[in-house]
Chains A and B, each alone.
Chain A
Amino acid sequence: MTTTSLTTSRGAGRAGDKVFSAATLAAGCLILAVLFGVALFLVIQAFPALVASPDKIQGGEGFFAYIWPIVIGTLIAAVIALVIATPVAIGVALFISHFAPRRLASGLGYVIDLLAAIPSVVYGAWGAAFLAKEISPAYNWLANNLGWLPIFQGPASATGKTILTAGIVLSVMILPIITSLTREIFLQTPKLHEEAALALGATRWEMIKMAVLPFGRPGIVSAVMLGLGRALGETMAVALVLSSGALTASLIQSGNQTIAAEIALNFPEAGGLKVNTLIAAGLVLFVITLGVNMIARWVITRHKEFSGAN
Chain B
Amino acid sequence: MSKRIDVKDLNVYYSKFLAVEDVNISIEPKSVTAFIGPSGCGKSTFLRTLNRMHEVIPGARVEGEVLLDGDNLYGPGVDPVTVRSQIGMVFQRPNPFPTMSIRDNVLAGVKLNNRKMSKGEADALVERSLRGANLWNEVKDRLAKPGSGLSGGQQQRLCIARAIAVEPQVILMDEPCSALDPISTLAIEDLINELKDDYTVVIVTHNMQQAARVSNKTAFFNIAGTGKPGRLIEYGDTHTIFSNPSVKATEDYVSGRFG
Contact = CB atoms under 8 A, between A and B. Distances in A.
Interface of A: 102, 190, 192-203, 206, 210-211, 214-215, 217, 303, 305-310
A197 B146 CA distance: 17
B183 to A, nearest CB: 22
Given A201-B166, A211-B97, A306-B100, 9 more contacts: A102-B58, A198-B56, A199-B91, A200-B108, A201-B81, A201-B82, A306-B98, A306-B99, A308-B99
13 contacts: A193-B95, A194-B56, A196-B91, A196-B95, A199-B84, A200-B162, A201-B112, A203-B81, A206-B112, A214-B99, A308-B99, A310-B98, A310-B148
A307 to B, nearest CB: 7
Given A201-B112, A306-B146, A217 B99 contact: yes
Contacts of B97: 193, 196-197, 210-211, 214
Given A200-B162, A201-B84, A308-B148, A195 B53 contact: yes
Contacts of B108: 197, 200, 210
Contacts of A201: 81-86, 109, 112-113, 166
Contacts, number: 84
Contact of A198 (B53, B99, B163): B53
Contacts of B95: 190, 192-193, 195-196
Given A201-B109, A305-B146, A310-B98, A195 B56 contact: yes
A199 B88 contact: yes
Contacts of A307: 98-99
B127 to A, nearest CB: 19
Interface string B25-51: 000000000000000000000000001
B84 A198 contact: yes
Q: From A196, A198, A303, name the one whose CB has the most chain B CB atoms within 10 angstroms.
A: A196
A190 B81 CA distance: 20
A199 B81 contact: no
Q: From B51, B58, B82, B146, name the one whose CB has the most chain A CB atoms within 10 angstroms.
A: B146
B169 to A, nearest CB: 12
A201 B89 CA distance: 10
Contacts of A199: 51, 53, 84, 88-89, 91, 163
B130 interface: no
Contacts of A196: 91, 95-97, 159, 162
Contact of B81 (A202, A214, A217, A303): A202
Interface string B149-179: 1000000000100110010000000000000
B166 A200 contact: yes
A16 B22 CA distance: 58
B61 interface: no
Given A195-B56, A308-B148, A310-B149, A200 B112 contact: yes
A102 B146 CA distance: 34
A202 B112 contact: yes
Contacts of B128: none
Contacts of A190: 95
Interface in B92-146: 93, 95-101, 108-109, 112-113, 145-146
Contacts of A303: 99
Contacts of B149: 305, 310
Q: Which 3 A-B pairs rank lowest in CB-CB distance, beginning with the nearest?
A: A201-B85, A308-B98, A214-B99
A188 B259 CA distance: 34
A198 B54 CA distance: 11
A97 to B, nearest CB: 14
B100 A214 contact: yes
Contact of B88 (A197, A200, A202, A211): A200
A188 to B, nearest CB: 13
Contacts of B99: 214-215, 217, 303, 306-308
Contacts of B81: 201-203
